[in-house]
Amino acid sequence: MENEQYPAGQPEKFSDDPQEQLRIENEILRIKVRTELGGIVEMGENLPPELENEFLKNVLAFEHRYANVKMVRIGDLLGRPGLPAVDTLDDSAMEKAFTELESLLEEYDIVVEFTRPREARFKYRFIVEELFEHETDDMVMEGMTRYFNYEEFHPDHPADLKEYTIQFLGDWFQRKTDAARWHLDDEFIYPDGRKYSRDEMIAQFKRVFAAYVSFDDCGYTFDDFHFDLSERDGDANQGMGFTEGMVKYTATLESGEKKQIEGPYKFYFCRSFGRWQIFYFHLAGFND
């Protein structure tokens, strides 16, 4: 028999106190997440119960819908629009065709990113000839956007290694410890076999930075790189690599004393889950 105060589709009433009712609802939702999804959802300690309630409901709704989804080619998801072949378009027509293609993707909440600058013809060809044949789930939810990145389909490993090296050095020169965490692997290994977590390494960065007021007159060279890829667990883009070069900068102590630092750097990378991350490095001013 349906509860008169809480009809079908509404939560069962456990208490006349709204806050107690919300607390019980959240506890039941957490149990459902554990039993139905086989995991525990981590939430902030200070998350308001109203937001927690909405979040848990959304998690359950998403997972239930995702369990029954079917795979579909993106071109089919878009209704197989009759777009002209890339080689039939001159430059003027290409700009117009690509603008129309972007509008079509936006209509279906699809975003295609290109990490590096690409011409409209290059982007159009990739989307129409390759991405349209890529399979995705057919689940559509309000507010959900599908993101695709060209470099995930065609990795440019030399450019990635150089980019991540430069980003890391830039963070080091600016003494940005939080930014550095995105470049480090979960586990960091020293040559003598000692292992540190990413957070332990960040703590070491902070101790170094605490000794100085600033790093100035910073410079670097990018001298060499190397990488090897191997297939593991069905992923053909896993591997190891390194980059190396020289750095120099002026470190200023709290006393005002300036220390000239100059020497080599070498970053050792491992690649897994589509991303290069640093698992060990030597950097003048850090290891010295």
Q: Considering all CA atoms of the chain, what is the largest pairwise distance in Å, rounded to the nearest integer?
A: 80
Q: How far apart are CA 186 and CA 184, in angstroms?
A: 7
Average pLDDT of the chain? 84
Q: Is pLDDT above 50 for 228? A: yes
pLDDT digits over 42-101, tens only? 665 667 888 888 888 777 776 666 666 678 899 998 998 889 999 999 999 999 999 999
In this prediction, residue 246 carries a pLDDT of: 98
Q: How far apart are CA 56 and CA 218, in angstroms?
A: 48
Strand partners of residue 37: none
Q: How far apart are CA 267 and CA 248, in angstroms?
A: 16
Angle at 149 between CA 143 and CA 151, to 5 degrees: 170
Q: Is pLDDT above 50 for 8? A: no
- Of the listed ranges 5-19, 116-130, 169-183, 190-204, the least confidently predicted one is 5-19
* Cβ–Cβ under 8 Å, residues 138 and 71: yes
Q: How far apart are CA 50 and CA 241, in angstroms?
A: 47
